[in-house]
């Protein structure tokens, strides 16, 4: 299913300088990349433009939010009465050199680094790149213009970045929901196309989930809070055939139906909205599947003593931590026969092994479905399918939690809108 935006397949890269926005916002610890999934995801686009004869490839990405993250780290150090070394912290968490080294290792060729994202020194390095060389710019968020709310600030940075390429390729789906200088504004100054990762994300999320899902279409929405999923729940009600709600947010729905949920996580200010969603689903003949039994504890901890209880029988001092065996079977029945499944959010406190059984069971059930498009909408759901060991059996695992949710909500992503149409 083709997307409406131009991709790297639509342009001639021979002899061209390529400026490519990637999503190398990877977890770091002491200057070492902890998970290289996002780097690996960008390799096909990098390799393709090089194979097509690109003169040079200049990569750019953010890595955390240096200003905001450093402030938190400083406050933590002060609270613990520990010294704080600003440069050591930035090198360990926010500088691109270790990321460039990991990229070089995976790419199988050197990746040079620049001392800044832009400026005279970087200008000189870019100008001196030999045929086929790859350069990684420094963290884009070291420049306040990158995320500025002022269009003029973003344009200033975008114009500087645009001098580093003849063609702009955006392969950073995880940042496509941000109208930043390197993700959206720069596309105004160069021919702008999607990379392979961006193309795949749009193909699955936009075309196969939002626009034209094969039916029956089932959505599984979990996680802690209803408030963070309001827009996606309301959007999906107009698209799905069946909706499964699990995780902490399910208890707000259960309480809205008049059931006792004990001390389980409930957003009291969302009870009215939960009732509205239940009523809308009823009027639209869409069945919402909620937990019918639970694994409960008296404290929120990984090794807390637990009990199995039926829905409506949760005592005042007990909280739901996972779905029970009857709910697992009910949810498995709901996805049986589905042709499209979109999943965002675990159905229990899956980060605690003891309470991950429900989430893992759902992941395994999805992996066994024949002829079904299974799309994992980023965030904790990705960790869940990895924990279950079935990631390779999913049709698509999104690299952008926030971006994937906004797309499914029906929002236009600035980084996608800025790309050239076919």
The answer to whether 45 touches 20, Cβ cutoff 8 Å, is yes
CA distance 204 to 333: 24
pLDDT tens readout for residues 242-271: 999 999 999 999 999 999 999 999 999 999
The answer to whether 382 touches 362, Cβ cutoff 8 Å, is no
Residues 6+ apart with CB under 8 A from 80: none
Average pLDDT of span 374-381: 85
What is the pLDDT at residue 1? 55
pLDDT tens readout for residues 45-58: 999 999 999 999 99
Could you tell me which of 264, 259, 188, 215 has the C-alpha nearest to residue 373?
215
What is the pLDDT at residue 416? 95
Range with top average pLDDT, 75-89, 150-164, 309-323: 150-164
The Cα angle at residue 278 between residues 273 and 284, in degrees rounded to 5: 125
What is the pLDDT at residue 40? 94
What is the pLDDT at residue 191? 98
Instruction: Please name the helix (run of DSSP H) or strand (run of DSSP E) that holds residue 373, with its range, or none.
Output: strand 373-376
User: Which of the four pLDDT bands, split at 50, 70 and 90, describes residue 147?
Assistant: very high
- Report CA 55 to chain centroid distance, whole Å: 32
pLDDT tens readout for residues 52-85: 999 999 999 999 999 888 899 898 988 899 999 8
Cα R_g (the chain), whole angstroms:
23
Dihedral angle sign, alpha carbons of residues 14, 17, 21, 23: positive
The answer to whether 208 touches 407, Cβ cutoff 8 Å, is no
The answer to whether 335 touches 341, Cβ cutoff 8 Å, is yes
User: Which of the four pLDDT bands, split at 50, 70 and 90, describes residue 150?
Assistant: very high
Average pLDDT of span 389-405: 90
What is the pLDDT at residue 384? 85
pTM for this one? 0.89
User: Which of the four pLDDT bands, split at 50, 70 and 90, describes residue 310?
Assistant: confident
What is the pLDDT at residue 400? 84
Active site residues: 38, 225, 379, 402
Average pLDDT of span 365-371: 94
What is the pLDDT at residue 92? 84
Q: Which of 13-27, 106-120, 384-398 has the lowest mean pLDDT?
A: 384-398
Percent share of the chain, pLDDT over 90 = 80
Q: Per DSSP, what are the bridge partners of residue 323?
A: 294
For the beta carbon of residue 110, count every other beta carbon within 10 angstroms.
Answer: 12
What is the pLDDT at residue 2? 65
Average pLDDT of span 374-386: 85
Phi-psi region of 131 (alpha: psi -120 to 50; beta: other; left: phi over 0): beta
pLDDT tens readout for residues 207-231: 999 999 999 999 999 988 888 888 8
What is the pLDDT at residue 194? 98
**Arithmetic mean of pLDDT over the chain:** 94
Residues 6+ apart with CB under 8 A from 245: 221, 222, 233, 253, 288, 289, 290
pLDDT tens readout for residues 165-187: 999 999 999 999 999 999 999 99
> 378 versus 48: which is more confidently predicted?
48
Q: What are the start-end ranges of the E strands in 270-417? A: 287-289, 293-297, 306-310, 319-323, 340-344, 373-376, 396-397
């Amino acid at each position: 299913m083709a997307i409406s935006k131009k991709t790297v397949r639509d342009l001639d890269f021979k002899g061209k300088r390529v400026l490519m926005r990637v999503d190398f916002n990877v977890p770091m610890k002491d200057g070492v990349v902890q998970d290289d999934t996002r780097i690996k995801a960008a390799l096909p686009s990098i390799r393709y433009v090089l194979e097509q004869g690109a003169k040079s490839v200049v990569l750019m990405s953010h890595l955390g939010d240096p200003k905001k993250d450093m402030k938190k780290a400083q406050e933590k150090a002060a609270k613990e009465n520990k010294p704080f070394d600003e440069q050591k912290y930035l090198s360990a968490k926010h500088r691109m050199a270790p990321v460039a080294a990991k990229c070089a290792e995976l790419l199988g060729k050197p990746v040079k680094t620049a001392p800044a994202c832009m400026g005279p020194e970087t200008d000189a390095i870019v100008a001196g790149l030999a045929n086929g060389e790859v350069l990684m710019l420094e963290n884009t968020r070291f420049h306040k213009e990158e995320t500025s709310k002022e269009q003029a600030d973003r344009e200033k940075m975008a114009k500087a970045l645009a001098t580093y390429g003849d063609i702009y390729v955006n392969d950073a789906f995880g940042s496509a929901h941000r109208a930043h200088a390197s993700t959206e504004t720069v596309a105004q100054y160069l021919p702008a196309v999607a990379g392979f990762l961006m193309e795949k994300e749009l193909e699955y999320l936009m075309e196969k989930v939002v626009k034209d899902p094969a039916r029956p279409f089932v959505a599984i929405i979990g996680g802690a809070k209803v408030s963070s999923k309001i827009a996606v729940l309301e959007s999906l009600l107009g698209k799905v055939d069946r909706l499964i709600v699990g995780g902490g947010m399910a208890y707000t729905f259960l309480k809205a139906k008049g059931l006792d949920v004990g001390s389980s996580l409930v957003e009291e200010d969302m009870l009215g909205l939960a009732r509205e969603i239940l009523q809308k689903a009823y009027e639209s003949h869409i069945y919402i599947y909620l937990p019918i039994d639970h694994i409960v504890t008296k404290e929120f901890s990984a090794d807390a003593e637990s009990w199995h209880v039926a829905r409506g029988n949760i005592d005042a001092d007990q909280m739901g931590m996972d779905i029970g065996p009857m709910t697992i079977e009910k949810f498995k029945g709901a996805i049986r026969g589905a042709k499209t499944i979109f999943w965002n959010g675990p159905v229990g406190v899956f980060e605690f092994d003891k309470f991950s059984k429900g989430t893992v069971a759902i992941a395994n059930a999805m992996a066994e479905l024949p002829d079904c498009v299974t799309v994992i909408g980023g965030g904790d759901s990705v960790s869940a399918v990895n924990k279950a060991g079935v990631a390779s059996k999913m049709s698509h695992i999104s690299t952008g939690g926030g971006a994937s949710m906004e797309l499914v909500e029906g929002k236009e992503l600035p980084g996608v809108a800025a790309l050239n149409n076919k």
